[in-house]
Structure 1
Amino acid sequence: MTRTLSRPERIAWVRLARTPRIGPLTFHRLIARHRTPSAALEALPRVSNLVAPPTDKAEAEIDAAEALGARLIASCEPDYPPLLAQLDAPAPIISIRGDAAWLKKPTIAIVGSREASGAALMFAERLAADLGEAGFTIVSGLARGLDAAAHRGALATGTAAVLAGGLDHPYPPQNLKLHVAICERGAVVSEAPLGTVARARDFPRRNGIISGVSRAVVVIEAALRSGSLITARAAADQGRDVMAAPGSPLDARARGSNALIKQGATLIENAEDVIAALGDPAPALRPHSIGPLFAETAPAPPGLPGKIARLLSPTPIHVNDLARLLEAPAGAVAAALTELEMNGQAASLPGGYAASSGAAFS
Structure 2
Amino acid sequence: MPRPELAAWLRLLLTPGVGLDSARKLLAAFGLPEAVFAQPASAWQAVVGARAASALEQPPEDLEAQVDRTQAWLADAADRHILTLGDPLYPPDLLQMADPPVLLYVLGDVQALHHPRRLAIVGSRNPTPQGETNARQFAQALGQAGVCVVSGLALGVDGAAHDGAMLGGAPTVAVVGTGLDRVYPKRHLALAHRIGAQGAIVSEYPLGTPPLPAHFPQRNRIIAGLSQGTLVVEAAVQSGSLITARLAAEQGREVFAIPGSIHAPQSRGCHALIRQGAKLVESAQDILEDLRFAEPVPPDDRAGPGSGHGAKEDSLLRAMGHDPVSLDALQARTGLDTAHLQARLLELELSGEVARLPGGLLQRQGQG
Distance in structure 1 (CA, Å) of the matches to 2:257 and 2:124:
13
SS of the counterpart of 2:90?
coil
Give the aligned partner of residue 265 of structure 1: 278
Q: 2:30 aligns with which of 5, 30, 34?
A: 34
Q: 1:56 aligns to what?
A: 64
Alignment partners' CA distance in 1, 2:162 and 2:284? 15
CA distance in 1 between partners of 2:41 and 2:138 (Å): 52
In 2, Cα distance between the equivalents of 1:76 and 1:248?
A: 47
1:149 to 160, 163, 170: 160
- Give percent identity, aligned residues only: 40
Aligned to 1:320: none
Extract unaligned runs of 5+ from structure 1: 286-294, 298-329, 335-362
Q: Is the 8 A contact 1:81 1:100 kept in 2?
A: no
Change (3 A) 1:148 1:177: same
- Give 2:8's aligned amino acid: A
1:281-360 → structure 2 map (5 Å cutoff): none
Q: CA deviation at 1:58?
A: 5.3
Question: 1:44 & 1:269 partners in 2: Cα distance?
Answer: 59
Q: Which amino acid aligns with 1:141?
A: G
TM-score, length-scaled by structure 1: 0.73
Equivalent residues in 2 for 1:94-243, closer than 5 Å = 94-105=104-115, 106-155=117-166, 156-243=169-256
Who wins on radius of gyration, i.e. which is larger? Answer: 2
Instruction: Say if 2:84 and 2:104, in contact at 8 Å, map to a contact too.
Output: yes
Q: Deviations over 1:49-106 (max 9, x none)?
A: 1134476345324313314532211121122122112223310001000001011012
Distance 1:240 1:123, change over 3 A: same
Deviation string 1:259-279 (CA, Å, 9 cap, x unpaired) is: 000000111111211122224
- Measure, in 2, the Cα distance between the counterparts of 1:276 and 1:107: 14
CA RMSD of aligned residues (A): 2.6
Aligned to 1:18: 14
Contact 1:65 1:71 in 2 (8 A): no
> Which one scores higher on RCO, CA 8 angstroms, separation ≥ 6?
1
Instruction: Determine if contact 2:70/2:207 at 8 Å carries over to the other structure.
Output: no
> Which has the higher mean CA deviation after the structures are superposed, 215-224 or 30-39?
30-39
Q: Aligned equivalents of 1:230 and 1:44: distance in 2?
A: 40
Q: Is the 8 A contact 1:217 1:243 kept in 2?
A: yes
User: Over residues 228-272 of structure 1, what are the superposed CA-to-partner deviations in whole Å (9 max), with x where a residue is unaligned?
Assistant: 011111112222211111111111111001100000011111121
Shift of 1:44: 6.3
**Offset at residue 117 of structure 1 (A):** 1.1
Structure 1 stretch displaced more, 235-244 or 273-282? 273-282
Other-structure match for 1:78: 88
**AA partner of residue 25 (structure 2):** R
